[in-house]
Structure 1
Amino acid sequence: MRSTPVKEPREARTNLLGLDREGLKGFFAEMGEKPFRASQLLKWIHQRGVTDFAQMTDLSKALRTKLEATAEVRIPEPVFDQRSADGTRKWLLRMDGSNAIETVYIPETGRGTLCVSSQVGCALECTFCSTAQQGFNRNLTSAEILGQLWFAVRELQASGLERPITNVVFMGMGEPLSNFAPVLMASRAMVDDDAYGLSKRRVTLSTSGLVPQLYRMAEISDIALAVSLHAPNDALRDELVPINRKHPIKDLLAACKHYIQDKPHRSITWEYVMLDGVNDHDEHARQLAVLLKGIPSKVNLIPFNPFPGTDYRCSSPERIRSFATILLKAGLTTTTRKTRGQDIDGACGQLVGRVEDRTRRRLRREQAAEATQ
């Protein structure tokens, strides 16, 4: 009886979409190639949008053959494309299986901002955020993060926009600093002149306040920083942003000051969602003004965007104006974010995607709700 030969599984190819300049240099060094190949690949993939090695004509035929055997440029798979009446676009991009993440493009006069996700779901349980209610599955790879930018650029260029994206914000699904290495690698490619060439001031990482990672980030990056503060004291922030119980406001402020020291003309953007009757009193504004005194700051007041199952309501326009006036009189640069894409659930705090929740958080929440009925 003759045995059937067993085929060895093909080794996984390296997805070059997710490698920054240093990553590509290392990849080519292992192949015995010169470092300048990194610049060539960055331009082909990110500037020209080419994913087929055969079309990369300034590479030798032998190198293209080696790349075909060991590497690939794999982009996210779109599930749907939604367009808001205000011009905002939201894409659902499949990552694996039934998991999918949301990416949002926000056009404004003279600029276009892409809001990218860094995780499938989110492990932090901020009570006012719909993403946090979906649970958590996994971190995204650097290729999956950069893939959102690659995809959005091609989609928008197909609509006739030559340079549609001027800003990228890590404010989508997930906590970026919980996925430290892939996020920072992706950010380096975003600002690389051979890739997207974005200004470091126009790539913004938003964090809920992971203090050790903030200190690490200060050593290797100087992209813009935004902090989801949402409360001017520990008691209230413990309730709204539970990570505060581990990293209280005093420690968070120290890490933020460290991040911008020796960086002239830099400031921290403080994000503050306006929750009716919760964190929007005049006294909260006065506490916030005292808290941020002496720190180069911009305060971004965010009208709360409702989602199914939440008990929170948005502060009234009058209350938001009163809150902003107190901060402005205290000398703090203060803006109120204009809600965009709300009709497609693309506004701040509304991104949910499709998440196979490994934490079983939703199940526990449902069981708790049933027990109280």
Structure 2
Amino acid sequence: MTTQTLPRPKPARLSPVDALRTGGSGLRTRPLRVFLSALGIAIGIAAMIGVVGISTSSQEELNRKLAALGTNLLTLTPGQTFSGSAAHLPEQSVPMVRGIDGVESVSAIGKTAAKVYRNDHVPAVQTGGISVYAARIDLPGTIGIDLVQGRWLDEALEHYPAVVLGAKAAQEFGVYDVNAGVLVWLGDRWFSVAGVMAANELAPELDSAALVGWPVAKSELAFDGYPTTIYTRAADAKVEDVQQVLGATANPENPNEVEVSRPSDALEAKQATDEALSGLLLGLGAVALLVGGVGVANTMVISVLERRAEIGLRRALGATRGQIRGQFLCESLLLSALGGTGGVALGIAVTAGYASYQHWPTVVPVWAMAGGVGATLVIGCLAGFYPAVRAARLPPTEALAAS
């Protein structure tokens, strides 16, 4: 009589759908712990998405401003003489600069010694930090001045005691309606407010300024006629060429006493500073994400300890170590994915809220969202690997005895 050994049946294969269903069932049994662990992941991802989104939205706003204002604006200001005293630009520097090949428009302002007050009873020392400039009537076309009220100086007003206030100057004086015949005490006489300018990114010095016509500044404010800032618009293709010869052309006798700058460079430098700060915040977000990963690992380890009876029963019923390992690894991935998607949604909401508050366009890069979810899956895989291996190594008899 011969004895036949029956072949050992192969264990049933755990399909991906079954693994997801089993992993989701394990998470639903501990909702509060799952929520807190996912929250740790979500905070880290939200911080990273928010930083990237706000930085990108700020960059988009800067690009819009530069596109509207132009990056072809150059400014000339007097520097210092060889002896260290203040230099000045020649009176004919504006027409000389206008003759440079590639220059599209030129205008200038000149600082006066006059002070401006809301009325003639304000003490002389309380100027509010507002400077008085003589301005050419072609200034708006060169630097892109927008008026929120009233009108700009024209050929008639430049000879008349009229003044245009910068945005901050108007706020300082409480000027909200130029049509009401508002007057300010400028120098030693009254000037009527003709208009109020909008804030200007490329010429912020005008925001806290009072601008009067060039001729009336000479006749009424003892203006010496020397320009203190010359604004030059160059053709886009010739900005660098114009910048190189601008100082020597404006002041041929002393070109070293002229400082040439490009206001758009200051805006871009500010953006670079903001990006450096964003890098620091990204690092903090990564730390928060790491803390969230530790929370996931802690949750999974506790889950293995609490569910030893379940693990032993499943092993006794034929589940393989690989299936147990896959179940707990799937739980960890689901937990991390839950936190990751929630963090991405929260980060987008934070970006949209801040951008709306700042009146910026809301821009969240697709790579940031995809990278956020991908990072959480990597964190979940790493955090769940050890608990999954530990669960798979539990002997069925030991697991059942511990229950």
Structure with the larger strand share: 1
Structure with the larger helix share: 2
Q: TM-score, normalised by structure 1?
A: 0.23
Greater CA radius of gyration, 1 or 2?
2
Q: TM-score, normalised by structure 2?
A: 0.21
